[in-house]
Structure 1
């Protein structure tokens, strides 16, 4: 379908704390790359962002700091917005869900569904704090995790082991407000009949959007195969968008009903023509999110839009996986994070370096790991040594050998090496276009750096500095030497200009700096100029060379690693004070005895292959079993695995695993299991996947 405008949204960050690198890698840098590219293509674009200022995390932060929720969101909205601006995240608007426009838009949306008779009023028992006289959202309930025995797990998730929970699963639950055990009390809420939209969602997602990323499609399929249920779209709280109904005092809209409507209300603030973006079929709507938001953007919000009527639906939802930090999960409670506002102060002028590294390691298909050593290597070995080095060499040699001006080209002396460079420029344009349109930003950025690498190789082969030695000989030799120098430098400079266009979506400040060196205007960055052989005019004088990137020193990296280590020590000390051990107990380590000895021929009979989990769903009436579809490269098999107590189905989509593929099929709960997944069990009894350290081809043998 031909689209006339592109509507891009990035998940609204909670305004209860600062941004960290996981946020950026998850959706904000990818969405900005996409928006900048679409603008360069001269397409009509609206890039929408804003702070999510309602919900339990806000009120918990306010409670901890003894301030009001409004004071919390005012502080962090400002900080988050400034961080985005400094990083060059080019939102057309960055709004907030506490704005009057949003409150009105969200309330009107709810009222429309209510007036259409879609909501079901239901009473149910909810946890209640008698001392504080308030109902408790899941995050207000704390207890012992049934999986890892963490004594401070939340009612919706254990942050230690990552398991999704419900308050009923917690051992000895207590209120986060008073520390007292909660009681159950009846309350009324309005439920959206999500189950009624299940047939439509199966058709729309599973049939019409098979092109979505595997992790997105797989998680949606798992939810839909497990069956949908009505969901409460209101909560008992004093903070949020009030439910616009009589007799609903003390109740607000559920944050995941209210927050995505923030995309619509922000667009209303941006332009009077907001309906063109949200209500016309020739709009391409793309949601950029992290994987923890997939169900809300692919199932719940589309069902809401469908129920309301008159709105476009997302064309794609390119969700990324999670970014870890130095081999461990990013954790705000443990202060195990790289905070963006701190980075911007400590690495002033290196905004593009962070953008580059997070794109290079983007968790597009699986979780990835931010390391400070990797960050340093990406800067010093790639940006400095390849991209920056090529541009700087061009500028230095141009001033030294061509009088500081773009030299002419002499077609009669062009050869195959010169032709190849022009072909590589055009090829890079196509690669970058295709990759960005398919949301493969790592691949696109790599292609740009690879072109700079080829530029360095071209200069090294041509060695124009050697031809300069022939100028003093005079005559025909000097004339041909100057022509060779002119050709090499002309081609290298045109390649540099193309690099500025190609790198602009990824490193916008670097592209601007290059324009300054070339003394050209922003118009050159329009995508129609990419791949052209004549971007810089012959005879045009360019500025003196400047380094695009600086080297990052070992001492800077050591300081950052030390800061993380101090955070870990401080957290451990705080936990020790909160949960002192009753007595010093040396745990007894039990090791399973080694099984009966086998010979090599016995082992050789086992066929182990690397597979990728495509779908995962719970087996009905079997608490421990998951039904998995595993892509083995040569075929996709159904495998039933007893891992349901250790993993959520939606969290393992896209994981690579090791499979015994020649095990005789076995029926479990009426399902034929066609293999077995290898797992490891730690001392606490928790299972862990045995999988490749880095992604490899599906179907690869394990020897």
Structure 2
């Protein structure tokens, strides 16, 4: 395997024609930041490059809509986008923009070298022209009636109402969006890059050389190459953009997808005088993080440009994500169907890591995925609060209560198998998290981190230092046993800070603050160590890492989504409402009589122990306290819950069900479960805690 001495990581340049939403975050900015934070923790030489794409038709369209200049638009949205990323902890080394001088000079020089090397084809073609404004019209500047749905405000490239892809020639009664005049066809000259000439090289480089790329990336590239590439114009008729730097090209600018990726190079130039080390030395690993709609540009067009120009490294990987939908519908900025990052930061101050966690947990790594506010609430309350936050808080509270607020010593003579198992688990977790991050499997890496917290809860529950404390006067080893347990839990807490840091950097710093350790403890080499906090050191008072998200907060956010849609529709009647989710199919079993139901004895029980059933992936063996007795119940919920997560949870049990043997274990009842819309099993339990053995009627 090739060895790299430095890393250059880029995240797609968003158009500076509007704010960024959580789909953007999930698509490439959060994954790239997680990857870079991991590399920094490993002390790698890495540069993280970002910025805004400030040329192209979307900018001029937005300027036209708002009645201002394109420069006004990019200045406004550059600041909003930059501040949104900063607030969410996206840790670019530089966040530049393609309208600045360095970029104009770099892109123009890149084009000129290719032109002087004879790498372009000069062609004339007929394009739509507005005689009144004396300007060639990009497809988006042409409006007419959609031949599919009759929308009278369809654009020359797409109908926003029905979503049909169009060409200007297909529109009925086309007219200019700038002057309302009927456009004419007029000849114009442009410079084309003959991409078909690079097909043999691209096939060798991608199809043969990068089979490790994600299936969605590799498959899309193969499809493009199998269908054959065509020459593509690298210039456009416009007054906004980088002027084509050759004679006879007045009124022409560089095509935005020629110009924009060069922004990665120009931004690196701004960042460091040693920029050539990152772009021109073969021992650099270049990684582009993008969304799936940008695959062809980053995997075929830009690499072909780099190859044609010569002297640049090529991307080693392009881990593109799929799309993130919201509440079952595709994100639509024109319909205002989006969760905007700058608004989230205002609505949820101090909870940036919650969104980072949720978006990574549901990241569309291999297929489109869905963000819902209910899932946001569930993951916050049931995972961050109940598992991770719970373990750290219990550890800190018990340390202050039972060990005087200081890190207790570890008494080696009382070490047991459970302690050794925790150490082994940590070593494995470090390896698993690292391997997953190296291979861009961020969801898997996050799950492994969270599993460490689960194991910590399980360990603490098994050790029960609060029970051991009752024997302090009668058992001479009681304090030592408490010391060992809380020493292990504190070291585990410090390890969790290291493992969570790439995903939840703000929370990692909170943990470091409580433990009174410096940030360099977060270096990756420290993960797995059981000597991260010093014996006898006084620690700060515990702080809650996360707080519950209540139902009214979720409702307010869902209402906000729909209100935004209504405003967008009122402003532009051509937009369409999201398609409502289909009503769930109702399956009702045959009618029974009351006497039949009355035979069922439902009791509330509390799960006091849980473990996996050997050689049965779906089964958990539960011990359920019914107040008057303990029952053993085998339940098929192992694919939905970890054993440590459900100890202490109240459940509803069918108490008079005939016993049944499952995998050699006699199951003495059945836990009632419900299945949510995503197929996850959830407990049917009382909303308030009740005494075990209480009847359900």
What TM bracket, shorter-length normalisation?
0.7 to 0.9
What secondary structure sits across from 2:325 in the alignment?
Answer: strand
Match of 2:509 in 1: 512
Match of 1:393 in 2: 394
Structure 1's 204 and 160: CA in aligned 2 closer, same or farther, altered over 3 A?
farther
Per-residue CA shift, 1:344-385, capped at 9, x if unaligned? 111111111111111111000000111111111111111111
Match of 2:43 in 1: 42
Match of 2:138 in 1: 137
What secondary structure sits across from 1:472 in the alignment?
Answer: coil
Per-residue CA shift, 1:49-88, capped at 9, x if unaligned? 0010101111011111111111111111011111111111
Query: 2: CA distance between counterparts of 1:412 and 1:146?
Result: 82
Q: Structure 1-normalised TM-score?
A: 0.80
Give the Å deviation of 1:161.
Answer: 4.7
Alignment equivalent of 1:498, drawn from 495, 509, 521: 495
Structure 1's 281 and 179: CA in aligned 2 closer, same or farther, altered over 3 A?
same
Which moved further from structure 2: 427-436 or 275-284?
Answer: 427-436
Query: 1: CA distance between counterparts of 2:207 and 2:574?
Result: 50
Query: 2: CA distance between counterparts of 1:575 and 1:421?
Result: 59
What secondary structure sits across from 2:468 in the alignment?
Answer: helix
Match of 1:325 in 2: 326
Give the Å deviation of 1:483.
Answer: 1.1
Alignment equivalent of 2:531, drawn from 531, 534, 537: 534
Query: 2: CA distance between counterparts of 1:310 and 1:447?
Result: 40
Query: 1: CA distance between counterparts of 2:458 and 2:361?
Result: 22
Aligned pair 1:375/2:372, yes or no?
no
Match of 1:13 in 2: 14
Give the Å deviation of 1:411.
Answer: 1.7
Per-residue CA shift, 1:376-406, capped at 9, x if unaligned? 1111111111111110111000000111111
Give the Å deviation of 1:165.
Answer: 3.7
Q: Is the 8 A contact 2:334 2:575 kept in 1?
A: no
Give the Å deviation of 1:145.
Answer: 4.3
Match of 2:239 in 1: 238
What secondary structure sits across from 2:96 in the alignment?
Answer: strand
Match of 2:430 in 1: 429
Match of 1:359 in 2: 360
Aligned pair 1:561/2:558, yes or no?
yes
Alignment map for 1:245-644 (pairs within 5 Å): 245-473=246-474, 477=475, 479-576=476-573
Query: 1: CA distance between counterparts of 2:363 and 2:148?
Result: 30
Give the Å deviation of 1:454.
Answer: 1.2
What secondary structure sits across from 1:239 in the alignment?
Answer: coil
What secondary structure sits across from 2:316 in the alignment?
Answer: coil
**Deviating 4+ runs (over 6 angstroms):** 693-696
Q: Is the 8 A contact 2:151 2:574 kept in 1?
A: no
Query: 2: CA distance between counterparts of 1:510 and 1:541?
Result: 20
What secondary structure sits across from 1:209 in the alignment?
Answer: coil
Query: 2: CA distance between counterparts of 1:159 and 1:578?
Result: 7
Give the Å deviation of 1:570.
Answer: 2.8
What secondary structure sits across from 2:182 in the alignment?
Answer: coil
Give the Å deviation of 1:578.
Answer: 9.3
What secondary structure sits across from 2:317 in the alignment?
Answer: coil
Match of 1:117 in 2: 118
Query: 2: CA distance between counterparts of 1:151 and 1:457?
Result: 63
Query: 2: CA distance between counterparts of 1:280 and 1:45?
Result: 14
Match of 1:605 in 2: none
Query: 1: CA distance between counterparts of 2:369 and 2:159?
Result: 21
Aligned pair 1:222/2:223, yes or no?
yes
What secondary structure sits across from 1:244 in the alignment?
Answer: coil
Give the Å deviation of 1:537.
Answer: 1.1
Query: 2: CA distance between counterparts of 1:403 and 1:140?
Result: 71
How many aligned positions are there?
A: 579
Query: 1: CA distance between counterparts of 2:572 and 2:263?
Result: 37
Match of 1:23 in 2: 24
Match of 1:641 in 2: none
Q: Is the 8 A contact 2:15 2:58 kept in 1?
A: yes
Which moved further from structure 2: 427-436 or 302-311?
Answer: 427-436
Which moved further from structure 2: 540-549 or 417-426?
Answer: 417-426
What secondary structure sits across from 2:188 in the alignment?
Answer: strand
What secondary structure sits across from 1:142 in the alignment?
Answer: strand
Per-residue CA shift, 1:252-285, capped at 9, x if unaligned? 0000000000000000000000000000000000
Which moved further from structure 2: 136-145 or 283-292?
Answer: 136-145
Structure 1's 119 and 146: CA in aligned 2 closer, same or farther, altered over 3 A?
same
Which moved further from structure 2: 509-518 or 155-164?
Answer: 155-164
Alignment map for 1:134-213 (pairs within 5 Å): 134-146=135-147, 150-213=151-214
Query: 2: CA distance between counterparts of 1:182 and 1:115?
Result: 35
What secondary structure sits across from 2:513 in the alignment?
Answer: helix
Structure 1's 212 and 168: CA in aligned 2 closer, same or farther, altered over 3 A?
farther
Structure 1's 578 and 518: CA in aligned 2 closer, same or farther, altered over 3 A?
closer
Give the Å deviation of 1:558.
Answer: 0.9
Query: 2: CA distance between counterparts of 1:163 and 1:279?
Result: 42
Extract unaligned runs of 5+ from structure 1. 580-692, 697-703
Per-residue CA shift, 1:220-248, capped at 9, x if unaligned? 11111111011100000000010001121
Match of 1:591 in 2: none
Match of 1:649 in 2: none
Query: 1: CA distance between counterparts of 2:159 and 2:254?
Result: 25
What secondary structure sits across from 2:473 in the alignment?
Answer: helix
Per-residue CA shift, 1:123-160, capped at 9, x if unaligned? 00111122222111122223444555554443333444
Query: 1: CA distance between counterparts of 2:575 and 2:434?
Result: 54
Q: Structure 2-normalised TM-score?
A: 0.81
Match of 1:84 in 2: 85
Per-residue CA shift, 1:424-477, capped at 9, x if unaligned? 11111111111111101011011111110111111111100000001133xxx1
Give the Å deviation of 1:42.
Answer: 0.5
Query: 2: CA distance between counterparts of 1:507 and 1:148?
Result: 46
**CA RMSD of the aligned region, Å?**
1.7
What secondary structure sits across from 2:472 in the alignment?
Answer: helix
Q: Is the 8 A contact 2:373 2:557 kept in 1?
A: yes
Match of 1:622 in 2: none
Give the Å deviation of 1:540.
Answer: 1.1
Query: 1: CA distance between counterparts of 2:91 and 2:465?
Result: 40
